A and B are shown apart, each in its own frame.
Chain A
Amino acid sequence: MTFIDRIERPEDFRHWFGDMEAQYVYTSGVAGDKFFTALKKGKFLGTKCDQCGKVYVPPRMYCEECFKALTEWIDIPNKGIVDTYTVVHVDRDENLLETPEIRAFIRMEGTDGGLVHKLDVPAEAVKIGMPVKAVFKKEKEREGRITDILYFAK
């Protein structure tokens, strides 16, 4: 069983190039909106479960352990520790970076949560457990987004 009909000139083979439109808007929700509005002012907010004592950063509306609505909002101090990190050598399009960057999960002190963010520490100096704090943009430039934090640093 063979194909008798064949395309012999490779230029007759066609490719179809496309660009999928997949634009989206993600709104941060009730708790997220409070968190980002506070972030704009340079503050961290969290919610605490009065049943199990778990502290959520970023805040959540419900406790995932107790299924209870969370109503206690607490200010979280700008203190964190490096929980885990990755040394990134390429950008999003896989171009090699001149100086590797660090992305880390920073656990906020005294809470059960944390944030994934850039870490402004040389790659060879990062250690799990090292204390860091957020460095914010100038107040005027903040937009209520996670990028209002420039990076975390020692």
Chain B
Amino acid sequence: MEKYPGEALSSKKMKEVTHEKWNPRVKYAWSCGEAMSRFLNELKKGKLIGRKCHSCGKIYFPPAMFCKFCFKPTDEWVYLPDTGKVMTYSISYLDMHANRIEEPILVGVIDIDGASENMGIMHYFGEMSPDDLTFGMKVKAVWKPEGERTGSVTDIKYFKPLEGSE
């Protein structure tokens, strides 16, 4: 690096040199469509819902109105339990703003019981230590109290180990 002019800037030094700071207003609205609207509205009621295709038998979770395997509309709404398996996970010692944190955030993809394989939702894990987290471990949703739910995926606070498993 020495043959090039300049130097690597520390975050402190970055404020000493001339710089521009900007926070662009990047607002968006995403219209959820038929399947996702129902999914979010059911979350508010404390329920998980999927969508079944009668030709291949796959159950989509989160729901989809169209089967990507059969190229036809899916046929039926199905309620699913709020339990599942840990498909992938990550132990993060960085928060959303890339600050180092002491207590790691546990996140991962959960395969909901009853839904077809390789379909799941991403969520937090709680009531467990990072060492407890394993692939295939059974978990259960912990919901917010009914009055606090807004019809968002955060109506589930996190997934905790399913009691009585293992």
Contacts and interface: CB of A to CB of B under 8 A. Distances in A.
A26 to B, nearest CB: 5
Interface in B1-54: 5-6, 9, 14, 17-34, 36-38, 40-41
B77 interface: yes
A23 B98 CA distance: 13
B34 A6 contact: yes
B100 interface: no
A25 to B, nearest CB: 5
**Interface range on chain A: under 10, 10 to 19, 20 to 34, or 35 or more?**
20 to 34
Contacts of A12: 37-38, 41
B14 to A, nearest CB: 6
Nearest to A143: B18
**Interface range on chain B: under 10, 10 to 19, 20 to 34, or 35 or more?**
20 to 34
Interface stretch (A13-21, A112-120, A124-132): A13-21
Contacts of A19: 25-28
Interface in B122-161: 151
Interface in A1-53: 1-7, 12-30, 32-33, 36-37
A25 B37 contact: no
Given A14-B36, A18-B30, A23 B19 contact: no
Interface string A38-80: 0000000000000000000000010000000000000000000
A25 B18 contact: no
Contact of A5 (B9, B21, B33, B34): B34
B23 A22 contact: yes
B112 interface: no
B61 to A, nearest CB: 16
Nearest to B73: A3
Contact of A13 (B17, B20, B32): B32
Contacts of A13: 31-34, 37
B17 A23 contact: no
Interface of B: 5-6, 9, 14, 17-34, 36-38, 40-41, 65, 72-73, 75, 77, 97, 151
